[in-house]
Amino acid sequence: MANILFQQESISGASVLGLTMAEVVLLILFTLLLGSQPPLLTDKEREQAKLLLEAVRLEARVALIEKGVAELRINTFRTRKHFFRELVLAKEKAAQADRLRQQLQEHRSE
């Protein structure tokens, strides 16, 4: 009987938080393996995702500009100054959209 009690005490002394030493070692190994994994997205992929998001935003702006231009064609302008100001803004936004689209294509080709 004393032998059984001694065995139970030694078994409980070998465990840490209810886990055996082998289980603790396995947990440490799995933790190290998980920590050594490469990041999910590389810096280049993050940059491409940002450029793609910006391209989508710009395409939405271009669509709004085109809609505005279509409405402007229907409506008459009160003054020529207003018309040319809208035209310059539309050209600037279109040029910006083209530049970002070109950057996106450059990053995709890399």
Instruction: Pull the structure tokens for residue 104.
Output: 């996106």
Q: What is the pLDDT of residue 39?
A: 67
- Taking the CA of residue 59 as centre, how many other CA atoms within 13 Å lie in the half-sphere pointing to its CB? 9
Whether residue 44 contacts residue 106, with contact meaning beta carbons closer than 8 Å, is answered with no
pLDDT tens track for 13-38: 555 566 677 788 888 888 888 777 76
Angle made by CA atoms 79, 82, 84, in degrees to the nearest 5: 110
Q: What are the domain boundaries of the chain?
A: 2-35, 43-109
Pick from 53-57, 73-77, 97-101: least confident = 73-77
- How far from each other are the two terminal CA atoms of the chain, in whole angstroms? 75
Residue 55 has pLDDT above 80, yes or no: yes
